[in-house]
Amino acid sequence: MYPLISPKVIFTACLIGLLSGQVAYGNKMYKWIDEKGNTYFSDQVPPKHSQYRRESLSKQGRVLEVTEKAKTKSEEALDRLLKALKEAQEKVIAQQMYHDKALRITYSKLEDLQNTFNAKLQELDTEQKLTISNLKRLDNQLETLNRQAAVNERNGEKIPQKLLDDIKATEKESQETYVKISQHIEKKNKIVEQFNADIARYKQLTQTAEQKRLEQQKEEIKAANQLGVYTCDDDRECEKAWKIAGDFITKHSTSSNSTDPEIQSGKLIMGRTPDTDNDLSLAISKVDLGDRKQKLFLDIRCRDSSIGVELCASKKVQEIRLAFKNYLETSLSE
């Protein structure tokens, strides 16, 4: 009689066999799905399934590498065309950006561009007038030469070879001058078209930049009001505003000990550290953010507690910040 083997031993033996099988086949497995939605796992991909998208998995099941589905010739052709189109588009974008940059660097304002345009038109018109004047001279010269030839014919005389050569040369020069005038008109039309496009683009660039600047300025003013920032116009105004700011701190700071500032210098006025959860400590400092305009920055501190944090985020504190700039402006105007 064979000895009985417990299910636990059988499970352990199977698990060992499975793990040893994985080691034998390597550390990677492949996962793929065919066109019917069937999912496969194997350490090798059959050649007939090599066109499917597959994932290379570690023995822990992590995706190590992905091999995309093989593309048809039509898909490959589309990819090549798309790549070529994108490359061409990138060149167009780069050229436009270069031209935009040149416009902004060359002309500081629209008036400069317009003046350059008018000067170029005047130059072209002067050239054209000279060419037309030369054409009239040639026409008169040709008319004189033809009259001389007609006199010779009426007198039964042979037209001199030099006269014939002069007529031919003048006719050729006259024709070349007509072509030159036509080319000049075409050149002028192209220049007018280019300048009109540049003027329209310059307006677009400057208007967009100005709009962004105004929007940014508007947002900065809004943010400054919310944070409690006052920007001085000059040093004299800043000194007056600084004294008024000290009164603002005394008025709004709260402390069980004293409302007198803990620090008071030429660049910092700071109220005493909050003693209770309901205390507010205000501080005002002179700061310079590199824009050559001195600013008075209002900071409000609360006690480091849950109630203190809630107080600093309250509407009351926000109203104090919003009131700071208006308080200074009103006091300065009195």
Residue 19 has pLDDT above 60, yes or no: no
Q: Is residue 34 part of a domain?
A: yes
Q: Which domain holds residue 245?
A: 228-333
Domain boundary residue, one of 186, 201, 222 = 222
Q: Is residue 302 part of a domain?
A: yes
Report pLDDT for 256: 58
Q: Over the stretch 155-209, which tens digit does the pLDDT of each residue have?
A: 989 999 999 999 999 999 999 999 999 999 999 999 999 999 999 999 888 887 6
The alpha carbon of residue 150 and the mean position of all alpha carbons in its chain are separated, in whole angstroms, by 73
Split at pLDDT 50, 70, 90, the class of 257 is low
Q: Is residue 97 part of a domain?
A: no
Q: How far apart are CA 320 and CA 252, in angstroms?
A: 8
- DSSP character for 192? H
Count Cβ atoms below 10 Å from residue 311 Cβ, excluding itself. 19
Q: Over the stretch 114-131, which tens digit does the pLDDT of each residue have?
A: 999 999 999 999 999 999
Q: What is the mean pLDDT of residues 103-117?
A: 92
Q: Over the stretch 46-91, which tens digit does the pLDDT of each residue have?
A: 888 888 888 888 877 788 888 888 777 888 888 888 888 888 888 9
Same domain, 241 and 218: no
Q: Is residue 256 part of a domain?
A: yes
Same domain, 153 and 202: yes
Give long-range contacts, CB 8 A cutoff, 24+ apart: 245-252. 245/269, 245/284, 245/296, 245/298, 245/324, 245/328, 246/284, 247/331, 248/282, 248/284, 248/298, 248/324, 248/327, 248/328, 249/282, 249/283, 249/284, 252/280, 252/282, 252/320
Per-position DSSP letters for 283-309, written without gaps between them: EEEEEE-SSS-EEEEEEEEE-SSHHHH
Report pLDDT for 298: 85
Report pLDDT for 132: 95
Same domain, 196 and 237: no
Same domain, 212 and 236: no
- DSSP character for 228? T
- What CATH number has the domain bearing residue 267? 3.30.310
Same domain, 148 and 195: yes
Split at pLDDT 50, 70, 90, the class of 217 is low
Q: Over the stretch 298-333, which tens digit does the pLDDT of each residue have?
A: 888 888 888 988 998 899 888 888 888 888 888 888
Q: Over the stretch 262-306, which tens digit does the pLDDT of each residue have?
A: 788 888 888 888 888 888 888 888 887 767 788 888 888 888 888
Contact 271, 236 (CB under 8 A): no
Q: Is residue 105 part of a domain?
A: no
Report pLDDT for 232: 85
Q: How far apart are CA 228 and CA 73, in angstroms?
A: 65
Instruction: Please state the domain count of the chain.
Output: 3
Q: Is residue 104 part of a domain?
A: no
Q: What is the mean pLDDT of residues 143-165?
A: 92
Same domain, 141 and 210: yes
Residue 9 has pLDDT above 50, yes or no: no
Report pLDDT for 162: 94
Report pLDDT for 16: 40
What rounded mean pLDDT belongs to the chain?
83
Same domain, 190 and 233: no
Please give the structure tokens belonging to residue 172: 């050729």
Report pLDDT for 225: 65
Percentage with pLDDT > 70 across the chain: 87
Split at pLDDT 50, 70, 90, the class of 20 is very low
Same domain, 202 and 179: yes
Report pLDDT for 113: 93
Q: Rounded to the nearest 10 degrees, how much is the dihedral formed by the CA atoms of 41, 46, 50, 54?
A: 10
Contact 284, 298 (CB under 8 A): yes
Same domain, 178 and 206: yes
Residue 12 has pLDDT above 50, yes or no: no
Q: How far apart are CA 72 and CA 101, in angstroms?
A: 43
Q: Is residue 103 part of a domain?
A: no
Contact 199, 113 (CB under 8 A): yes
Same domain, 201 and 145: yes
Same domain, 126 and 165: yes
Using a 10 angstrom Cβ sphere, with 0-12 exposed, 13-18 middle and 19 or more buried, the burial of residue 89 is exposed
pTM: 0.45
Q: Is residue 307 part of a domain?
A: yes
Same domain, 114 and 218: yes
Report pLDDT for 139: 93
